[in-house]
Amino acid sequence: MSRHKREPGTLPRPLALLGALLLATATAVAIRMLPAGAASPSRPPAARPPATPAPLPAQADEPPAAFVGFVGFVDLTRQPAFDLPAESRRTGVRRYALGHLVAGGDGCTPRWSGAAGPRTSPMAGRIARLRAMGGDAAPVLGGPEGRELAATCTRPGGLSAAYRRVVGAFDAAEIVFEVRDSADRAAVLRRARAIQAVQRERRLRVSFTLPLRHDGLTPGDVAMLRATRQAGAEVAIVNLLAPIEPRTARGARLGRVATAVRAAGAQIARAQGLAEPGHAWPRIALTPVLAGRADLSELDARKLAAYATHHGLAWLSLRGVTPDPDVSRILWRTSSYR
C-alpha cells in the first residue's frame, strides 16, 4: 500500500516511525527476558486484556482470516542473523514463521533449538521493522530438534506461563506448534488446556503443523486435533508438511499431493466439528517439503500457487532445500494468482 498519501484516521509518518522505534525497543527487552539456558522461568508478563472476548471453539464454522499468500519459514538456529525487513523488501513476502522454540532447562523454559538463543538473536528489532512495513512474524514451537514444552512441562500452571512468555516476548498475535507428540495424550491435553488459558486472556491465533501422508493425516494426529478442540482450545489453521517426490517419479506427483490434501481436509473437518468438509479449506495451509533443488519446476510452482488460491487455502509455504530463484519468485507471488 502506498504511504505517500495519508488516509483519514491514520497517524502522521513521524508519529508512525516513533511508534515503530518504541515497539522495537520493547520487543528487544522482552526477548532478552526469554532465557536460552537452564534458568527457572520468572513470573510471566501480565496478559493484555482483549477488547472483546476471545473466540471459543463453539464457533467452529466461522472462517479464519483471509488468504495471506506465501509465508516464509526461517530457521533461526541456522540463520540467527536473518534480516526480515530486507528479505521482505526483496521478495515482497510479508509473513514469516520463525523456528524453532523447544523445551530447555527445567522443562518449562522456552529456548531456541540448537546453539542460537534469544539472547544472541538480533531478531527483536527486525520483527518490529517488519511490522512497521505491514508484515508480521510468528514463533514456531516444537519441531524436529527438540521437545515441545507440552511434553516436558508438567508443573501446574507452568506450561501456560511458558506460552505466555513466548507470546509476550514476541508480542505475538499468532503462534505455530509443530506437533510431534500426538501419541502422548497427557502432553496433548496439557498443551490444549494451556492454549485455552492463554486464548481466554487475549486474542491468539494458533496453528498446528502436521506431516501429510499419501492418505492424509495419521490417525494419531486426527485424534490429537479432536482432543485439542474438545479441551477448549481453538486451532485456526492446520499446516500440512507435504513431501514432494522427485521429478523423475512416475505419474502426477502434484496430483497425489492434491489427493492427500483433500483426504486431510475431510479429516480436519471431522476433528474440528465443521458442518461440511468444504469448510476446512480456509483452515488448511500447505507447505511442500523439497529433498532436492530440482524437485520443483516453474510449472510446478505455478500449479501449487494456483491450487492454493483456487481452494482458498490459508497460506502456502516451503521447507527443505531451496529451489531455483525463478521457482521461488513464483511462490512468493502466490497471492497474485487469486
pLDDT tens for 225-235 read 999 999 999 99
Pick 4 or 221 by higher pLDDT: 221
User: Is the pLDDT confidence value at 118 over 60?
Assistant: no
Q: Supply the pLDDT for residue 121.
A: 55
Cell of 252: 502426477
Per cent of the chain over pLDDT 70 is: 77
DSSP per-residue string spanning 33-95: TS-SSSPPP-PPPPPPPPSSPPPPTT-TTS--SPP--BEEEEETTT-TT--HHHHHHHH---E
Residue type, 66: A
Please tell me which of 21-35, 100-114, 289-303 the model is most confident about, judged by mean pLDDT.
289-303
Q: Supply the pLDDT for residue 45.
A: 38
Q: Supply the pLDDT for residue 123.
A: 79
Pick 257 or 78 by higher pLDDT: 257
What is the per-residue pLDDT across 165-177, written as a single tens digit (0 to 9) for each?
999 999 999 999 9
Mean pLDDT, residues 312-322 taken together: 97
Q: Which DSSP category does 323 fall into?
A: -
Pick from 265, 259, 207, 211: which is nearest to 233 by CA? Answer: 207
288 bridge partner residues: 242
User: Is the pLDDT confidence value at 332 over 50?
Assistant: yes
Cell of 3: 504511504
Pick 44 or 298 by higher pLDDT: 298
User: Is the pLDDT confidence value at 277 over 50?
Assistant: yes
Given this structure, which CATH class describes domain 68-337?
A: alpha beta
DSSP strands (E only) in the chain: 71-75, 95-104, 109-112, 136-142, 174-178, 205-211, 237-243, 284-290, 319-320
Model confidence at 147, pLDDT cuts 50, 70, 90, reads very high
User: Is the pLDDT confidence value at 326 over 60?
Assistant: yes
Pick from 193, 89, 188, 94: which is nearest to 148 by CA? Answer: 188
User: Is the pLDDT confidence value at 116 over 90?
Assistant: no
Pick 40 or 88 by higher pLDDT: 88
User: Is the pLDDT confidence value at 120 over 70?
Assistant: no
Q: Supply the pLDDT for residue 334.
A: 82
User: Is the pLDDT confidence value at 26 over 90?
Assistant: no
User: Is the pLDDT confidence value at 17 over 60?
Assistant: no
**pTM reported for the whole predicted model:** 0.81
Mean pLDDT, residues 311-322 taken together: 97
What is the per-residue pLDDT across 30-41, written as a single tens digit (0 to 9) for each?
433 344 333 333
Model confidence at 62, pLDDT cuts 50, 70, 90, reads low
User: Is the pLDDT confidence value at 20 over 90?
Assistant: no
Q: Supply the pLDDT for residue 64.
A: 56
